[in-house]
């Protein structure tokens, strides 16, 4: 039975389900409702099949590598390689796509009559198809085909809401950055081809010894930049906060939860699997990038008051955390400490899964809120918990998960990351030690700042009094959206409680890497109770924590409420207002909430404040009519990094433009010169 | 016998923590040449609060109502999970130092949300400042615990307490540095001087008080108790950092002589608590509250001290 | 016919190209082109007599009609219709043009090109001469401002390539012959259509006033 489920036929059924969903959706584009139902039905069916396929592959360890004949080009071969790492990522995408599609059934309704639903369904299914190809392709050119499908489909979905010009601009920026990344990836593949002579990953892996060390380093840098653009590491992240808010919310969830992870997937594949053995500075670079991305990501998130941009910056932060795990895995593998590399890798994989779950949950929640409020600005929300209680509850769970609060899943993956870094500090020598100490510091601060940010987010959106009248018209989301969010919240909880079982499955994936084959059995013992690191370095149990907390809560509640002073009366009154009338302006705004932190970190964030005063009488400036204060955060990347590059390219282009004089004679002169030069050089 | 010990472990924290607060106030009063309230006054205050009616704001939601319970239960749980007067209990399930840090963060999370929920300016600002300081203090917190964890080769608090290699030569200095760093964090997390003045309700000096301004009756009782609890939990962590060797009797499973050793354990624990409380009271009486934007510098100093301590190990 | 005669004919072709550079009147330019094409026809006739390949006879026939007779007639008609009696000026004045011609010829005879021109070692000089004819044709296009002269330049480039091929002994290749025929057909077609279009749109065949191609 398992054989059939994990066979290549099954994989092609998976691909074809999405393909049928795409084509059918396009054909049904005249009828909004049926296009919506068709595309989401097939996406749900495909996701369920994908879940079955990936779980069966991981449990039975039946990896599959197969080839489809009939490629017309010599260098392109349609070869697939579904090993345990691919299966894990297929699991992630199926899981998230399942719930996003369920959510989409209700969410897409508010695009009816405005845009073409059939096109959305088409691109949505192709997007998932592209990701599946990226995850399983075993030939460089085939991989690039899948990569292109994924990027182009997501571009069209980012600009889907094209009435808003900002979205179109964001889509354009996204497209440019994606292609810059793709260019670097192509360079890496071409270099591999030049030295090893093949685009096929398996051949490359066996021929890695042929690479001279200089070329290998260049390949590393090119791949890091190329896949880093997709993953959203700083400073290549500028497209993320623009593109993720622009897309429809379930697409943002997929992009943030899965698409950026494909960059991580290829980094794992290339650096830990194909290009081994690697020099140690590669791991150091990745670790430093992880430190920078996580800290800066959360700091920028604190400055945002657009809810989806805030969540996008948190994605950058979590990618940084995943890179902390991956970087330390690379360092440990270069130092021939496979046991510790295994631990770090498992931490990174677990955090990938957890982030996908809780980030999608948060984006879906944000989508529900934005649907009702028609604005992304958090300053206009407030008090939504009374109008959208279930959404608020699910968003609360998502916030607790992303802030790494036990017993939700975020805590356990950050715990594992911490533990791997602690081991690094304990075992390595002094120069590397300081790097790991820095990493632990970054992770600790990131956790604290993320907590602050989500107090701000949750508080501004859902608590206190409404800050605009729009809030009072908000209604709870339709049932499909609630089911999507609720299921993700439940998963976030379950993956936390049953983290030890999950980690034992992840250990299998970790062991599938060649470089991590020979490790002692007891590095990471996950028994039914909890996670444990070797030599009893540490252990934690989510289930016990949860049970004891619930137990304590119940005991306390019983004693306080029922036993002591049963005759207490609870009155409902107004908040203490010092005698004035309460209005929404008395509440703290989200900008104000984070301003203290922004000021503390002003060296990094470069906040700016501008006052403009408009007087009633411009000569005697005593009575101001209006006063405007603008608070801003400096955009360091655009001004110091991208703008100079852009200016240089533009000035270079202007000079090169002079070649095009418009005179045909000059053009033929170019031809003659070219002919002479080429003859000279060839002969 | 184990059951009795476990029960004592669980109730010791809520039972003794108001006493600590009372002692601090008494010492401060004496230093200010006043007689001061009795050291059992906090107990009376709690009793009074538990028997009062409540007013809940109409803007508040279920988060406001549930926050005190969560905060209090967390402190109970943490109190039960860390070694108080025995070290032979092994707790591999909830005794991990990171779990303690993040569990306390749950308490902070709900406390801040409760402050935001009522929509008053005080609550909002209190939450903002609390989250700022807590975000920065977390780094120092984890690092100071990490120092002793690295010395002992485990992050399990009970296992650390069980070891007795402190104060032996080379680990003395890092331990003292970590102890100093931890003290700074402790003052931040328990809203003591120089971070916050627990005695006033003015907007200038309050962080913690601002968030619980709107609570009344039973909920206020729980919140106050929890903050005492936090003080107590922190107290003992800081104490066992400092005074290690020969103060915990590694008992094993011989229980008959256990009664005496446990009582000795409790008494010595009380002495250590008292010393710690004395230190805090002296600190509070001798310095003023810092300006808010000077506090991050203080937390950064704690962080760096701990980082140096880690660097000095080995 | 012996080699000397063939080389003499090649020399005539070379001289027609030089003449194309120096001529001021379009009429004489067209005639020079006609002479050039006649030379090529004679080359092909020679190879027909040597190999008796019917395809070559066909090529000869077609070339005679199209290139020697029709093309110059067509150009003359165009000149008469649009009063293009005088060819427009060049970029370089006459002394400089002659110097450039000399340089290009010298380059073609340069040693560096010997691998190219030694395909048939006996004909090395002829091949160098044909190569220089190619360069000169290109230079003609560069130097002249009138569209008619430029078209003549392209056509003479084609002729010189054919001459090169003949002397390199490759004229048996049917692909070459078909290519030539095809080329002629397309060129005539495009020349007709393009010229009328350019004239209609720009009002003149002076290429330097067609600045709208500027980037």
pLDDT tens profile C64-104: 877 788 778 878 877 787 776 666 677 887 788 888 888 88
The pair of structure tokens assigned to B208 is 């913690």
Longest CA span, chain C: 53
SS3 B42: helix
pLDDT tens track for A112-135: 888 888 889 999 999 999 999 999
Q: What is the mean pLDDT of residues B77-90?
A: 68
Q: Please state, rounded to an integer, the average pLDDT across all residues of chain C.
A: 78
Count H helices and E strands in chain B, helices first. 11, 1
> What region, left, alpha or beta, does residue A595 occupy, with left being phi > 0 and alpha being psi -120 to 50 degrees?
alpha
Contact A360, A257 (CB under 8 A): yes
Q: Which residues lie closer than 8 Å to B100 by C-beta, 6 or more apart?
A: B78, B81, B82, B145, B157
What's the pLDDT score for residue B238? 46
For the cut 80, the answer to whether the pLDDT of residue C51 exceeds it is no
Phi, psi of A615, rounded to the nearest 5 degrees: -90, 155
From chain A, the residues in CB contact with C210 under 8 A are: 662, 664
Length of chain C (residues): 215
Contacts of A674 in chain C (CB under 8 A): none
Strands B54-57 and A570-573: parallel
- Cα A174 to Cα A128, A140, A170, A210, A557: the distances in Å are 18, 23, 6, 36, 52
Q: Give the number of other CB atoms < 10 A from CB of residue A653.
A: 9
Residue with tokens 């691109």: A123
Any chains having at least 3 CB pairs less than 8 A from chain B are: A
Residue among A548, A539, A543 nearest B9 (CA) = A548
Q: pTM score, two decimals?
A: 0.81
ipTM of the complex: 0.89
- Residue B218's closest chain A neighbor by CA? A560
pLDDT at position B36 is 86
How far apart are alpha carbons A659 and A661 in whole angstroms? Answer: 6
Cβ–Cβ < 8 Å for B135, A445: yes
**Any B CB within 8 A of A465 CB:** yes
Chain C residues touching A665 at Cβ < 8 A? 91, 141-145, 207-208
d(CA C26, CA C84): 7
Helix ranges (DSSP H) in A472-601: 479-497, 499-511, 542-557, 590-600
Structure tokens at A653: 């282009």
Residue with tokens 């500028």: A238
Spatial contact of B59 and B116, defined as CB atoms under 8 Å apart: no
Distance CA A560, CA B198 (A): 25
Closest partner residue to C138 among A666, A672, A680, by Cβ?
A672
Q: Taking CA atoms, what residue in A is nearest to C154? A: A668
Residues A294-346 pLDDT 10s: 999 999 999 888 999 999 999 999 999 999 999 999 999 888 888 888 889 98
To the nearest whole angstrom, how far is the Cα of A20 from the nearest Cα of chain B? 46
Helix (H, G, I), strand (E, B) or coil at A574: coil
Residue C104's alpha-carbon distances to A44, A665, B247, in angstroms, are 72, 17, 102
Say whether B281 sits in a helix, a strand or coil: helix
Range of the domain at B165: 2-312
Q: What is the pLDDT of residue B249?
A: 33
Alpha-carbon distance B117 to nearest alpha carbon in chain A (angstroms): 5
Angle between helix C124-143 and helix A664-682 axes, rounded to 10 deg: 150
Nearest to C141 among A657, A661, A668 (CB): A668
Q: Are C26 and C87 in contact (CB under 8 A)?
A: yes
Q: Is B74 on the interface with A (CB under 8 A)?
A: yes
Looking at the structure of chain B, the number of domains it has is 1
Beta carbons of C39 and C84 less than 8 angstroms apart: no
CA-based R_g, chain A, Å: 27
What is the C-alpha separation between B185 and B238, in angstroms, rounded?
A: 10
Among B63, B143, B217, select the one facing A441 at the smallest CB separation. B143
> Chain A: nearest CA to B68, how far in angstroms?
10
pLDDT for the residue numbered A283:
92
- Beta carbons within 8 Å of A28's beta carbon, 6+ residues apart: A34, A35, A38, A118
Concatenate the DSSP letters of all residues of chain C into one string.
Answer: --HHHHHHHHHHHHHHHHHHHH--BHHHHHHHHHHHHHHHHHHHHHHHHHH--HHHHHHHHHHIIIIIIIHHHHHHHHHHHHT--BPPPBSS-HHHHHHHHHHHHHHHHSGGGHHHHTSSGGGHHHHHHHHHHHHHHHHHHHHB-BHHHHHHHHHHHHHHHHHHHHHTT-TT-HHHHHHHHHHHHHHHHHHHHHHHHHHHHHSS-BGGG-GGG--
User: Which residue, among A39, A8, A83, A524, has the nearest Cα to A272 in the 3D structure?
Assistant: A83
The Cα B244–Cα B168 span in angstroms is 10
Q: Which of B71, B114, B88, B39 is nearest to B233 (CA)?
A: B71
Residue with tokens 């571009």: A155
First vs last Cα of chain B: how many Å apart? 40
C-alpha angle A298/A304/A306, rounded to 5°? 125
Helix, strand, coil proportions of chain A in percent (round to 5)? 75, 5, 20
Residue B246 has a pLDDT of: 29
Place of tokens 């070219």: A674
Residues in chain B, how many? 314
Q: What are the residue ranges in chain A where pLDDT is below 70?
A: 70-72, 518-537, 565
Burial class (CB in 10 A: 0-12, 13-18, 19+), C94: exposed
Burial zone of B79 (CB within 10 Å; 0-12 exposed, 13-18 middle, 19+ buried)? buried
Rg (CA), chain B: 19
B72 part of contact set with chain A, CB < 8 Å = yes
Instruction: Give the count of beta carbons closer than 10 Å to the beta carbon of residue A395.
Output: 27
Inter-helix orientation angle C3-22/C94-109, to 10°: 150
Distance CA B57, CA A582 (A): 12
How high is the pLDDT of residue B279?
81
Tell how strand A78-82 and strand A570-573 pair up.
unpaired
The answer to whether the CB atoms of B57 and A574 lie below 8 A apart is: yes
DSSP conformational letter for A628: E
Nearest CA in chain A to C136: A672
Q: What is the distance between the alpha carbons of residues C158 and C160, in angstroms, rounded to a whole number? A: 5
**Which span out of A232-236, A621-625, B16-20, B309-313 was modeled with the highest average pLDDT?**
A232-236
Chains near C with 3+ CB pairs less than 8 A apart are A
- Closest Cβ opposite residue A459 in set B97, B113, B292: B113
Query: Is pLDDT larger for residue C187 or for residue A91?
Result: A91
Helix (H), strand (E) at residue A526: strand A524-526
Nearest CA in chain C to A678: C113
Taking the C-alpha atoms of residue A226 and residue A188, their distance in angstroms, rounded to an integer, is: 9
pLDDT at B245 exceeding the cut of 50: no
């Amino acid at each position: 039975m398992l054989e059939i489920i994990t066979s290549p036929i099954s994989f092609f059924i998976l691909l074809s389900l999405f393909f049928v969903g795409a084509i059918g959706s396009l054909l049904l584009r005249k009828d909004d409702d049926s296009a919506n139902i068709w595309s989401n039905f097939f996406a749900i069916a495909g996701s369920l099949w994908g879940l079955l396929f990936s779980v069966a592959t991981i449990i039975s360890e039946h990896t599959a590598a197969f080839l489809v004949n009939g490629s017309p080009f010599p260098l392109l071969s349609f070869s697939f390689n579904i090993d345990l790492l691919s299966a894990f990522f297929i699991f992630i995408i199926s899981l998230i796509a399942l719930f996003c599609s369920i959510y989409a059934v209700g969410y897409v309704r508010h695009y009816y009559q405005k845009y073409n639903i059939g096109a959305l369904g088409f691109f949505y299914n192709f997007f998932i198809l592209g990701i599946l190809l990226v995850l399983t392709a075993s030939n460089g050119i085939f991989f690039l085909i899948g990569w292109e499908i994924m990027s182009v489909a997501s571009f069209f979905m980012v600009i889907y809401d094209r009435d808003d010009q900002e979205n179109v601009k964001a889509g354009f920026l996204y497209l440019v950055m994606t292609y810059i990344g793709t260019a670097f990836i192509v360079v890496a593949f071409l270099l591999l081809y030049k030295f090893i002579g093949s685009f096929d990953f398996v051949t490359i892996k066996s021929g890695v010894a042929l690479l001279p060390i200089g070329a290998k380093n260049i390949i590393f840098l090119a791949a890091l930049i190329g896949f880093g653009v997709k993953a959203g590491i700083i400073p290549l992240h500028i497209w993320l906060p623009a593109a993720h808010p622009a897309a429809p919310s379930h697409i943002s969830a997929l992009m943030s939860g899965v698409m950026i992870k494909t960059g991580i997937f290829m980094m794992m594949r290339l650096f830990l699997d194909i290009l081994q053995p690697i020099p140690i500075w590669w791991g150091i670079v990745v670790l430093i990038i992880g430190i920078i991305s996580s800290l800066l990501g959360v700091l920028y998130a604190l400055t945002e008051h657009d809810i989806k941009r805030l969540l996008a910056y948190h994605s950058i932060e979590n990618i940084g955390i995943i890179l902390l795990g991956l970087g330390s895995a690379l360092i440990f593998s270069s130092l021939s400490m496979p046991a510790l590399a295994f631990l770090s890798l498992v931490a990174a994989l677990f955090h990938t899964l957890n982030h996908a779950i809780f980030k999608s949950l948060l984006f879906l929640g944000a989508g529900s809120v934005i649907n009702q409020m028609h604005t992304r600005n958090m300053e206009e929300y407030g008090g939504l918990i009374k109008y959208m209680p279930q959404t608020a509850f699910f968003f609360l769970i998502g916030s607790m998960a992303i802030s790494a609060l036990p017993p939700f899943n975020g805590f356990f993956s950050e715990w594992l990351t911490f533990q791997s870094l602690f081991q690094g500090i304990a075992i390595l020598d002094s120069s590397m030690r300081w790097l790991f100490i820095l990493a632990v510091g970054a992770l600790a601060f990131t956790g604290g700042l993320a907590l602050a940010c989500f107090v701000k987010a949750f508080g501004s959106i859902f608590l206190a009094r409404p800050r605009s009248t729009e809030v009072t018209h908000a209604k709870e989301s339709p049932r499909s959206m609630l089911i999507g969010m609720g299921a993700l919240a439940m998963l976030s909880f379950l993956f936390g409680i049953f983290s030890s079982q999950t980690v034992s499955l992840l250990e299998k994936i970790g062991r599938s890497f060649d470089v991590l084959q020979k490790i002692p059995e007891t590095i990471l013992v996950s028994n039914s109770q909890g996670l444990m690191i070797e030599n009893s370095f540490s252990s934690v149990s989510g289930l016990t924590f949860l049970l004891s907390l619930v137990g304590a809560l119940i005991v306390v509640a019983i004693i306080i409420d029922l036993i002591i002073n049963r005759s207490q009366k609870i009155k409902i009154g107004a908040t203490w207002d010092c005698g004035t009338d309460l209005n929404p302006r008395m509440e703290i705004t989200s900008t104000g909430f984070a301003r203290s932190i922004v000021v503390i970190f002003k060296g990094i964030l470069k906040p700016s404040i501008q006052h403009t005063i408009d007087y009633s009488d411009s000569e005697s400036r005593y009575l101001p009519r209006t006063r405007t204060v603008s608070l801003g955060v400096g955009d360091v990347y655009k001004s110091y990094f991208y703008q100079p590059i852009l200016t240089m390219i533009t000035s270079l282009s202007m000079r090169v433009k002079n070649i095009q004089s418009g005179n045909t004679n000059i053009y033929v002169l170019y031809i003659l010169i070219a002919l002479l030069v080429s003859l000279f050089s060839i002969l | 016998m184990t059951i009795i010990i476990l029960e004592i472990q669980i109730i010791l924290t809520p039972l003794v923590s108001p006493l600590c607060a009372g002692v601090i106030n008494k010492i401060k009063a004496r230093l200010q040449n006043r007689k001061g309230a009795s050291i059992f006054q906090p107990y009376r205050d709690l009793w009074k609060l538990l028997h009062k009616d409540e007013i809940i704001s109409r803007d508040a939601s279920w988060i406001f109502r549930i926050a005190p319970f969560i905060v209090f239960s967390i402190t109970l749980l943490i109190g039960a999970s860390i070694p108080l007067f025995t070290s032979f209990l092994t707790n591999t399930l909830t005794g991990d130092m990171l779990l303690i840090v993040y569990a306390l963060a749950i308490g902070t999370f709900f406390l801040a949300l409760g402050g935001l929920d009522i929509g008053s300016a005080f609550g909002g600002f209190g939450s903002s400042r609390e989250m700022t300081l807590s975000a920065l203090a977390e780094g120092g917190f984890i690092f100071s615990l990490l120092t002793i964890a690295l010395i002992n080769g485990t992050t399990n608090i009970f296992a650390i307490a069980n070891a007795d290699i402190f104060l032996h030569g080379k680990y003395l200095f890092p331990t003292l540095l970590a102890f100093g760093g931890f003290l700074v964090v402790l003052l931040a997390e328990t809203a003591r001087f120089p971070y916050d003045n627990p005695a006033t309700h003015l907007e200038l000096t309050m962080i913690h008080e601002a968030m619980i301004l709107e609570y009344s009756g039973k909920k206020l009782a729980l919140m106050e108790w929890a903050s005492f609890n936090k003080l107590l939990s922190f107290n003992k962590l800081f104490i066992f950092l400092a005074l290690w060797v020969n103060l915990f009797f590694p008992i094993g499973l011989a229980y008959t002589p256990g009664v005496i050793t446990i009582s000795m354990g409790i008494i010595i624990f009380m002495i250590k608590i008292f010393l710690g409380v004395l230190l805090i009271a002296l600190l509070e009486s001798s310095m003023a509250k810092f300006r808010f934007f000077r506090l991050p510098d203080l937390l950064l100093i704690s962080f760096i001290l701990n980082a140096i301590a880690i660097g000095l190990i080995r | 016919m012996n080699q000397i005669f063939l080389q003499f004919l090649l020399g005539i072709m070379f001289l027609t190209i030089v003449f194309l550079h120096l001529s001021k009147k379009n009429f004489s330019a067209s005639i020079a082109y006609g002479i050039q094409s006649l030379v090529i026809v004679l080359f092909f006739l020679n190879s027909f007599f040597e190999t008796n390949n019917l395809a070559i006879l066909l090529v000869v026939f077609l070339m005679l009609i199209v290139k020697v007779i029709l093309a110059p007639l067509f150009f003359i008609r165009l000149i008469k219709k649009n009063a293009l009696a005088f060819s427009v000026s060049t970029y370089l004045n006459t002394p400089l043009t002659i110097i450039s011609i000399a340089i290009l010829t010298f380059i073609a005879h340069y040693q560096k090109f010997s691998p190219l021109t030694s395909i048939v070692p006996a004909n090395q000089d002829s091949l160098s001469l044909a190569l220089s004819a190619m360069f000169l044709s290109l230079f003609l296009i560069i130097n002249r401002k009138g569209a008619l002269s430029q078209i003549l330049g392209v056509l003479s480039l084609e002729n010189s390539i054919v001459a090169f091929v003949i002397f390199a002994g490759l004229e048996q290749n049917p692909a070459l012959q078909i290519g030539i025929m095809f080329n002629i057909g397309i060129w005539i077609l495009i020349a007709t259509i393009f010229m009328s279009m350019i004239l209609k749109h720009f009002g003149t065949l002076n290429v330097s006033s067609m600045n709208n191609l500027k980037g």
